Amino acid sequence: MDTRISLCKIEVLIASPVRQKPAILQEFLWSLAQLETAGLKVAYAFIDDNDEESVLLKEFARRKDAVQILRGERAGTYRCDENTHYWQEDLIWRVAAYKNRFIKMAREGDFDYLFLVDSDLVLHPRTLVHLVSLGKDVVSEVYWTRWQPGMPPLPQVWVNGQYRLYRAGRGEEPEAAEIARRQGEFLAMLQRPGTYKVGGLGGCTLISRRAIALGVSFGEIYNLGLIGEDRHFCIRAAALGLELYADTHYPPYHIYRESELAGLRVYKEQFFSRSQEQVNPGERPTRAGKGSRITLAMLVRNEAGRYLRRVLAHAAQYIDGAVILDDASDDNTVEVCREVLRDVPLVLVSNKTPSFHNEAVLRRQLWNLAIENDPDWVLILDADEIFEDRAVKELRELAANPDAEVLAFRLYDMWDETHYREDTWWRAHHYYRPFMVRYLPGFRYEWRETPQHCGRFPKNIANLRWVTSPLRVKHLGWMKPADRLAKYYRYKKLDPGGHYGIREQYLSILDPKPNLVPWDNE
Q: What is the mean pLDDT of residues 402-431?
A: 90
Whether 286 shows a pLDDT value over 60: the answer reads no
Nearest to 114 by CA among 100, 93, 125: 100
Categorize the per-residue pLDDT at 337 as very low, low, confident or very high, splitting at 50, 70 and 90.
very high
Euclidean distance between CA atoms 329 and 323, whole angstroms: 16
Q: What is the mean pLDDT of residues 512-522?
A: 87
Euclidean distance between CA atoms 139 and 195, whole angstroms: 9
39 φψ region: left (φ > 0), alpha (ψ -120 to 50), beta (else) = left
* CA 434 vs CA 210, 299, 404: distances in Å: 21, 16, 12
- Length of the chain, please? 522
The secondary structure of 412-436 as a DSSP string is: EEEEETTEEE-BTTB-GGGS-EEEE
- 8 Å CB contact between 383 and 366: no
pLDDT digits (tens, 9 = 90+) for 195-248: 999 999 999 999 999 999 999 999 999 899 898 899 999 999 999 999 999 999
The secondary structure of 103-122 as a DSSP string is: HHHHHHTT-SEEEEE-TTEE
Q: What is the mean pLDDT of residues 336-348?
A: 93
128's enclosing H/E stretch is helix 127-133
Nearest to 401 by CA among 277, 316, 295, 271: 277
Euclidean distance between CA atoms 290 and 42, whole angstroms: 33
Categorize the per-residue pLDDT at 89 as very low, low, confident or very high, splitting at 50, 70 and 90.
confident
**To the nearest whole number, what is the mean pLDDT of the chain?**
85
Pairing of strands 406-416, 433-438: antiparallel
Q: What is the mean pLDDT of residues 293-313?
A: 95
Euclidean distance between CA atoms 102 and 122, whole angstroms: 21
Euclidean distance between CA atoms 93 and 75, whole angstroms: 12
Whether 311 shows a pLDDT value over 80: the answer reads yes
Q: What is the mean pLDDT of residues 312-334?
A: 94
Whether 1 shows a pLDDT value over 70: the answer reads no
Whether 385 shows a pLDDT value over 50: the answer reads yes
CB-count burial class (<10 Å; 0-12, 13-18, 19+) for 429? buried
Categorize the per-residue pLDDT at 274 as very low, low, confident or very high, splitting at 50, 70 and 90.
very low
SS3 309: helix
Q: What is the mean pLDDT of residues 357-378?
A: 86
Tell me, which fold does domain 294-518 have in CATH? Answer: Spore Coat Polysaccharide Biosynthesis Protein SpsA; Chain A (3.90.550)
Going along 268-405, which residue ranges are E strands?
294-300, 321-326, 346-350, 377-380, 385-387
**Greatest C-alpha distance within the chain:** 76
* CA 177 vs CA 154, 166, 181: distances in Å: 19, 12, 6
- 8 Å CB contact between 430 and 421: no
Pairing of strands 154-155, 144-145: antiparallel
Categorize the per-residue pLDDT at 285 as very low, low, confident or very high, splitting at 50, 70 and 90.
very low
Whether 436 shows a pLDDT value over 90: the answer reads yes
Euclidean distance between CA atoms 116 and 107, whole angstroms: 14
CATH 3.90.550.10 positions along the chain are 4-274
Q: Which range has highest mean pLDDT (34-48, 200-214, 474-488)?
A: 200-214
Categorize the per-residue pLDDT at 276 as very low, low, confident or very high, splitting at 50, 70 and 90.
very low
Q: What is the mean pLDDT of residues 8-28?
A: 89
> Does the global pTM surpass 0.85?
no
Q: Give me the phi and psi of 325, to 5 degrees please.
A: -110, 115
Whether 309 shows a pLDDT value over 90: the answer reads yes
Superfamily of domain 4-274: Spore Coat Polysaccharide Biosynthesis Protein SpsA; Chain A (3.90.550.10)
Predicted pLDDT of residue 3:
27
C-alpha dihedral (115, 116, 119, 124), degrees to nearest 10: -40
Categorize the per-residue pLDDT at 463 as very low, low, confident or very high, splitting at 50, 70 and 90.
confident
Cα 90 to the chain's mean position, in Å? Answer: 34
Share of the chain above pLDDT 90, in %: 51
Q: What is the mean pLDDT of residues 284-288?
A: 38
Cα 202 to the chain's mean position, in Å? Answer: 17
> Is 450 or 125 the better-scoring residue by pLDDT?
125
Q: What is the mean pLDDT of residues 471-481?
A: 93
Predicted pLDDT of residue 283:
36
> Is 146 or 412 the better-scoring residue by pLDDT?
412
* 212 CB neighbour count, 10 Å cutoff: 20
Q: What is the mean pLDDT of residues 442-446?
A: 83
Predicted pLDDT of residue 280:
37
Q: What is the CA radius of gyration of the chain?
A: 25
Pairing of strands 377-380, 433-438: antiparallel
SS3 329: coil
Euclidean distance between CA atoms 154 and 151, whole angstroms: 8
Predicted pLDDT of residue 508:
82
Whether 8 shows a pLDDT value over 80: the answer reads no
Euclidean distance between CA atoms 39 and 410, whole angstroms: 9
- 8 Å CB contact between 422 and 4: no
Whether 137 shows a pLDDT value over 80: the answer reads yes
Tell me the β-bridge partners of 139: 206, 245
